[in-house]
Chain A
Amino acid sequence: MNAIILSAIWGIVMMFAGVFTKDKSIPKYLAYTGIIILFIANAMELYNGTLLFSINAHDMLRTNSFNLTFIAIALACTGIYFLLSGRDIEKVGEHVAEYFALIFFILCGVSLSATFNTLLFLFLGIEIMSIPLYILTASDKRNLKSNEAGLKYFLMGSFSTGIMLMGIAFIYGGTPNASFYISNIMLGAGRMPVMIAIGLVFLLVAMAFKVSAAPFHFWTPDVYDGAPTVFTSFMSTIIKVAGFFAFIRLFENSFGTIHDQWQNLIIFITVATLLIGNVTAVFQQSVKRMLAYSSIAQAGFMLLALFALNDKAKEGIILYSAAYSLATIGLFAILIKMEDYTIEGFNGLAKKQPFLALCAVVFLLSLTGIPLTAGFQSKFYMLMAAVENGHNFWLVIVAVIFAAISAYYYFRVIQAMYFKEPAREDMVQVVDVTPGFRIMLAVTALLIIVLGVYPEIVLGWMYH
């Protein structure tokens, strides 16, 4: 609850900072302060239950250690993202304070969609997350690619909102006691009523749109490719995992009892997402576009949590959020500094910037799921959840095979960095690398390794 209110307030503070300050670097430091305050306030709520504001939400928002842990991870990843890419956010355009303000509003949406207990707040959370993101996607105003990505994202996003609202309306119509509380939808055994079934399918499609699961993923590569790279980093990590978290909470709390009736739909979506994401990523020449497809592929793994829907899956999604966000944010932070976004652009990076190349290797290994990295632990938890589910064991084998395929396109970048020569010796490969950036990159890589060895650090928060 603290994070929801404080992030909205801090967004407004940032907007005023944009009006009253002339110095371009002040908003950045204000944003650092804000994210630290948010994290502390959220940690206070997680550990002591301290609420800074007393608000009667009529049980429409429900906080527990599970979703507060998720908010803590989202805030920590945003903090790391600010520290790594704050300078690049300043370079996007004139309105630096507004970009930070929009990111704080998005954090408000993230917290809302992590704690919702009614369909009304699910809708509001998802929308508060999406609308500022349309602006951020289109923020590079002179660049046609950014404009196009913004328009495409906007049209697809509001289209899926319409579908989601239709689903909500049908579920409202089909629930006998007429309320939006998600726990009231819970049905007994037996076939679900027609109206609920229609609503469930609509909601499933809309949420699959939002988290870019196949076959509703087609907007993702274009939007991720066209948006300014700093904001692609943010939306392919924090927004995406927040969407997943809302997806899982919604389906667990409202349709958990009839899990067996919609599980087959999830299996179809999971296999399609893994297949399309991994196979298409193999053919990409641009690393930015490859990361867009890789985010679809990783979404396939996160869908396993929705397939299994047990306690291990809950731990898995928390760990996956942290591991995937950290590795992708780190990789994007390096990519932003590159002159050339194609894989050839990475040729010989290890010779010129050995430290950057080493960090990139850690991130890529984590995304592949090599042991000793957080990516391995999170994939392990997901697969374990799917095994504990007890049936459809073949899905686990399919997931492992696709994880092996993903090694091909991640390792291609490592190969380019270590075993290939740059096209020209005098080529400027990397721009604007400061010592602070290197330190943050090292911290991120270290966090990934620490989480890979002791995942209990994060999971312990859940059972506090």
Chain B
Amino acid sequence: MDIKAYIALSLTLFTLGIIGVLVRRNAIIIFMCIELMLNAVNLLLVAFSKMHEASTAAKLSPTFAGDAQILVFFIMVVAAAEVSVGLAIIVMLYRNTHSVDVNFLNRLKN
């Protein structure tokens, strides 16, 4: 399949993620939207990796196109670490305010 289709798909997912972060007010949903952004990147990286593998230029390079797929694993691991820290922060907030609405948080503004 054409690489443009993959780019379009992952950019769509990425944009959905950004819109979600900017529009939604529930901390957990914002968090899910960030995960969506990261996974859009994963998809794009795998697609680019396959694209480079198909092209002859990459075959000559000593560091073959596998690089991007390694990065995908690193992104997954880092995202998992972020989930554990982020959910802990959200739970702590819920204990104190009984809400996960980010609009509720405006104590620092003044």
Task: List residues of A whose CB falls within 8 A of some B CB.
Answer: 119-120, 123-124, 127, 131, 134-135, 138, 141-142, 144-145, 147-152, 154-155, 158-159, 161-163, 165-166, 168-170, 172-173, 176-181, 221-222, 225-226
Contact residues in B for A145 (Cβ distance below 8 Å): 107-108
Contact residues in A for B64 (Cβ distance below 8 Å): 178
Docked CA distance A69–B87 (Å):
37
Q: Is the CB of B48 within 8 A of A169?
A: yes
Which residue on B lies nearest to A162, using beta carbons? B37
**Across chains A and B, which 3 residue pairs bring their CB atoms closest together, nearest first?**
A162-B37, A178-B52, A173-B48
Docked CA distance A182–B63 (Å):
13
Q: Is the CB of A177 within 8 A of B92?
A: no
Greatest chain B CB density within 10 A among A120, A134, A142, A148 is at: A148
Q: Is the CB of B70 within 8 A of A154?
A: no
Q: Is the CB of A147 within 8 A of B92?
A: yes
Docked CA distance A158–B75 (Å):
12
Docked CA distance A177–B68 (Å):
12
Docked CA distance A145–B96 (Å):
11
Q: Is the CB of A151 within 8 A of B65?
A: no
Number of A-B contacts (CB under 8 A): 136
Contact of A144 among B48, B78, B89, B107 (CB under 8 A): B107
Q: Is the CB of B57 within 8 A of A177?
A: yes
Task: Write the nearest CB–CB distance from A112 to chain B, whole angstroms.
Answer: 12
Contact of A178 among B41, B65, B96 (CB under 8 A): B65
Q: Is the CB of B108 within 8 A of A177?
A: no
Residue B71 CB within 8 A of the other chain: yes
Q: Is the CB of A162 within 8 A of B34?
A: yes
Docked CA distance A127–B78 (Å):
7
Q: Is the CB of B108 within 8 A of A222?
A: yes
Q: Is the CB of B71 within 8 A of A158?
A: no
Docked CA distance A172–B107 (Å):
42
Docked CA distance A145–B93 (Å):
10
Contact residues in B for A158 (Cβ distance below 8 Å): 31, 34, 82, 86
Docked CA distance A123–B85 (Å):
18
Q: Is the CB of A155 within 8 A of B30?
A: yes
Contact residues in A for B48 (Cβ distance below 8 Å): 169, 172-173, 178
Contact residues in A for B30 (Cβ distance below 8 Å): 155
Task: Write the nearest CB–CB distance from B37 to chain A, whole angstroms.
Answer: 4
Q: Is the CB of B57 within 8 A of A178?
A: yes
Contact residues in B for A144 (Cβ distance below 8 Å): 96-97, 107
Which residue on B lies nearest to A164, using beta carbons? B41
Interface string of B90-110 (1 = CB under 8 A from A): 101100110000100101110
Q: Is the CB of A147 within 8 A of B93?
A: yes
Docked CA distance A123–B76 (Å):
12
Docked CA distance A151–B103 (Å):
12
Starting from the known contacts A152-B105, A155-B86, A178-B52, 13 additional A-B residue pairs (CB-CB under 8 Å) come to A134-B89, A147-B93, A147-B96, A150-B89, A152-B108, A154-B85, A158-B31, A158-B86, A161-B78, A162-B38, A166-B37, A166-B40, A173-B7
Contact of B89 among A147, A162, A173 (CB under 8 A): A147
Q: Please report which residues of chain B, range 35-62, place their CB below 8 angstroms from some CB of chain A when the two chains form the complex.
A: 37-38, 40-41, 44-45, 48-49, 51-52, 55, 57-58, 60-61
